[in-house]
Amino acid sequence: MLTALSSTTVVRAAPLSGVQVERALSDRERLLFASADIDEVRSMVGRVMKPHRLGVVGHGPRLDARMYHAALGDLSMSRLRYGATVEIEPGPLESFFLVQMPLTGGAEIRSGAQQIESTQELASVLSPDDETRMRWEAGNEQFMLRISRSLVERTLIGYLGHPLDRPLRFELGFRWRDTVAWRCLMNYLAECSAQFPELAQHKLVMDQIEQLAASTLLAAHRHNYSETGPVRRTTILPRHIRRAQDYLKANAHEPISAEQLAQVAGVSMRSLYAGFKEFLGVSPMQYLRDLRMECARTELMTGEVSNVSGVALRWGFAHMGRFSNEYKLRYGESPSQTLRRR
């Protein structure tokens, strides 16, 4: 099972500072549409997700739909309500996985052979190959994360070390609020979207965020490869990768640029990034960030330090909120909790 990110489960993870999932994507700039016309609603939701059947059920509250949306590369976040009770038939999603987290109300979700009553405590994770039908009750509002199929499958293949021999399929029910890593990730993505509206234009940053989201989903929620371990790698690392690794380990406390690292390794930037991705599964700068995070944790656990901010700044983490979020995603506890455990 993936262990790069903690999938420790606790009862009701404590809320984080910053933008919370419950308030995410509620600003006017993210409003995609507001409509009571069923054809318009079906069309607008279909543009973000996929074409589908949509019908109002019964004679309860009228259709009063509203959708907020933010695209982040191979990810997108949406917040959707219909107002009325509706039945939705998207069929197989085909090109993406969809995590649906009710913020209010509930929904009946049928996907493949699985069926759940989704509530504020129980999200649904829809897999691309499964025929899906849903009934959202009046008053149900959902926060949704759409992740491209290729991104999740590439991430899993990179971990396993071999191609998939069957389609990746997640368990339908997901107790997302009780899963520390996932709750932290949702708050992190929501805060990124709120604070940095142009984030999707920064390719290198987006690559790391996409990998973080896919890895966290694979680590935090059960799927049909959860018990499959990686193939033991016997490939010897190329010399330029070993040279770059050695340099990073010896100079992690110093400012290092990708250009500088390529010069040390004696290869082009393109070859450096390709080599790290192929043999280590991450970019050189993400490898450095991971290394610095490990150094910070070691110092918090064993060093003679009195405060978290000093350690974070020493290892190049200038934004304390982001440092704390990433640290908790990785280790399942806050930096201050690690410090108190010494």
Query: What order of strands is seen across the sheet that includes strand 65-72?
Result: 31-35, 65-72, 75-81, 141-148, 96-104, 123-126, 173-174
* 337: pLDDT strictly greater than 60: yes
The Cα–Cα gap between 289 and 293 comes to 6
Token code pair at residue 100: 């649906």
* Banded pLDDT at 197 (limits 50, 70, 90): confident
pLDDT tens-digit readout, 77-96: 999 999 999 999 999 999 99
With 0-12 CB in 10 A as exposed, 13-18 as middle and 19+ as buried, what is 257?
A: exposed
Three-state secondary structure readout of 263-317: HHHCCCHHHHHHHHHHHHCCCHHHHHHHHHHHHHHHHHHHCCCCCHHHHHHHCCC
Q: Is 11 exposed, middle or buried (0-12, 13-18, 19+ CB in 10 A)?
A: exposed
> Predicted confidence band at 341 (pLDDT cuts at 50, 70, 90)?
low
Output the pTM of the full model. Answer: 0.67
DSSP H helical ranges for 196-237:
203-220
Structure tokens at 46: 């279909």
Q: Which residues, in sequence order, are bridge partners of residue 108?
A: 117, 135
Contact 48, 30 (CB under 8 A): no
Q: What is the pLDDT of residues 138-189, one digit of tens each?
A: 999 999 999 999 889 988 887 787 778 889 999 999 999 998 889 989 988 8
Domains plus CATH for the chain? Answer: 21-220 (2.60.120.10), 239-341 (1.10.10.60)
